Amino acid sequence: MFWFVLPLLHVVLPLRSAHAYNNGMGKTPPMGWNSWCTDSLCNLLGKDPCTEKEVQTTVVAMVEHGLLELGYDYVALDDCWSTTERDADGHLQADTTKFPNGMKAVADFVHARGMKFGLYTSVGDETCKGKRPGSYAHFADDAKTLTAWGVDMIKMDHCGNKHNVSDQELYGTMSAALNQTDRPVLFSLCSWGLDNVWEWGANIAQMYRIQMDHLPFWKLSGKRSAGAGYGQGTYDIIEWMATLQPSKWTTQYGWMDPDFLMTEYFTMDFIGSRTEYTFWSLWSAPLLISTDLRKLASEDDKMRIITNKEVIAINQDPLGTGGDRIVNNTDGTQVWYKPLANGDVCVVLYNSGTNNEQKRDLLVSVHWSVLPAWAGNVSLSVKVRDLWEGLD
């Protein structure tokens, strides 16, 4: 797969249908780390080990590896931090066997290193794992509790929702409750893509999940669509995003969320991880890496993927649009395309059969005239740069 970028005279900006909810958070796609897939193969191994120590050591590793400097500034805990009961006054509380000093102390530690802190809850009565309390009927109280601890990002999952209320209304209530607090919070809406969330998610949240969980594999046999199956591989998500057409919905302060990056996992080979990172960058998707960053040394190939400044810049591009598939050949080769703020364009040449030995050597090509920004201009001189190889 290659990237190239062409300086062009005219770029036609895509029409936007989403209206972003700008509360000051998430102007560019958030970058950072999340605990969910780090310890237990995204819960496939059933362990629940997140602790204060894990957060601290992860923060230290992120700073040491220069990840914070590159923009990875969120550190977020998923479904693992609270006890199974609310406290006597009905507030959420930390599991003190894992977080002996409470969640505010964890937030303080994260903030002291210049990073932002995220926590998780669910829109229904229970979270997805361990029957922890969800926020249903407690939206305002939970918004106050979490923001009082200094939380900067709240992910709200879809589990435990037995009530006959629409997702738009439920998540909208939490969004409004967060807005009532004095703290700007990045609201990460995780309704698994149900109810065509791409049509309304950006009105109330800064990022919204567009499908079930991403698991650390290339291709899974389950259905590829909203709310279907337990999880999708990287290949499946790429196909699903092609159907959704990211440029139609992606907007600053309202990012489509194809779920976490699985970078460090051994179940993802180098090409798989680089392909994953390529597409998440092309879509302007949140770059939240949910694997053990402490295990990556600076010289690792996988570390090179997540520290490529030019590719990160594609993800953080101020135009804030998502790339679309523009060519889908029957041999599995594809071309994807995204305009950038400075008039350059980003093109991905993708061989979707990269985990199939026979297809590994397929040549992917595209004619200039297929690129929308070409716009019939026949006398254009272009500069092409391969961002992964760093070569003009």
Give the residue among 176, 142, 164, 154 at the shortest CA–CA distance from 26. Answer: 154
Write out the chain in H/E/C secondary structure. Answer: CEEEEECCCCCCCCCCCCCCCCCCCCCCCCEEEECCCCCCCCCCCCCCCCCHHHHHHHHHHHHHCCCCCCCCCEEECCCCCECCCCCCCCCCCECCCCCCCHHHHHHHHHHHCCCEEEEEEECCCECCCCCCECCCCCHHHHHHHHHHCCCCEEEEECCCCCCCCCHHHHHHHHHHHHHHCCCCCEEEECCCCHHHHHHCHHHHCCEEECCCEECCCCCCCCCCCCCCCCEECHHHHHHHHHHHCHHHHCECCEEEECCCECCCCCCCCHHHHHHHHHHHHHCCCCEEECCCHHHCCCCCHHHHHHCCHHHHHHHCCCCCCCCEEEEECCCCEEEEEEECCCCCEEEEEEECCCCCHHHCCCCCCCCHHHCHHHCCCCCCCCCCCECCCCEC
- Which residue among the candidates 213, 257, 259, 317 is catalytic per the annotation? 213
236 catalytic per annotation: no
The CB-of-288 to ligand GLA minimum distance in angstroms stands at 10
The CB-of-219 to ligand GLA minimum distance in angstroms stands at 19
Which is closer to ligand GLA, CB of 127 or CB of 333? 127
Give the residue among 279, 249, 242, 240 at the shortest CA–CA distance from 262. Answer: 279
- What mask of x and - would describe binding to ligand GLA in positions 116 to 155, judged by CB under 6 A? -----------xxx--------------------------
Which is closer to ligand GLA, CB of 129 or CB of 144? 129
The CB-of-290 to ligand GLA minimum distance in angstroms stands at 9
Which is closer to ligand GLA, CB of 78 or CB of 152? 78
Which is closer to ligand GLA, CB of 14 or CB of 216? 216
Q: Does 190 bind ligand GLA (CB under 6 A)?
A: yes
The CB-of-125 to ligand GLA minimum distance in angstroms stands at 14
The CB-of-190 to ligand GLA minimum distance in angstroms stands at 6
Which is closer to ligand GLA, CB of 267 or CB of 377? 267
How many residues sit close enough to ligand GLA to count as binding (CB under 6 A)?
9
Q: Does 167 bind ligand GLA (CB under 6 A)?
A: no
Which is closer to ligand GLA, CB of 170 or CB of 371? 170
Q: Does 324 bind ligand GLA (CB under 6 A)?
A: no
| Among positions 142, 213, 276, 324, the unique one binding ligand GLA when judged by CB under 6 A | 213
Q: Does 157 bind ligand GLA (CB under 6 A)?
A: yes
**Region of residue 329 (phi > 0: left; psi between -120 and 50: alpha; otherwise: beta):** beta
The CB-of-82 to ligand GLA minimum distance in angstroms stands at 12
Bridge-partner residues for 214, per DSSP? Answer: 232
- What mask of x and - would describe binding to ligand GLA in positions 11 to 50, judged by CB under 6 A? -------------------------x--------------
Q: Does 257 bind ligand GLA (CB under 6 A)?
A: no
Length of the chain: 392
The CB-of-129 to ligand GLA minimum distance in angstroms stands at 4
142 catalytic per annotation: no
Which residues, numbered 51-90, are part of the site for ligand GLA (CB under 6 A)?
78-79
Residue 294, both tokens: 């402490």
Which is closer to ligand GLA, CB of 127 or CB of 278? 127
- Which residue among the candidates 39, 78, 95, 157 is catalytic per the annotation? 157
Q: Interface residues with ligand GLA (CB under 6 A)?
A: 36, 78-79, 127-129, 157, 190, 213
Active site residues: 157, 213
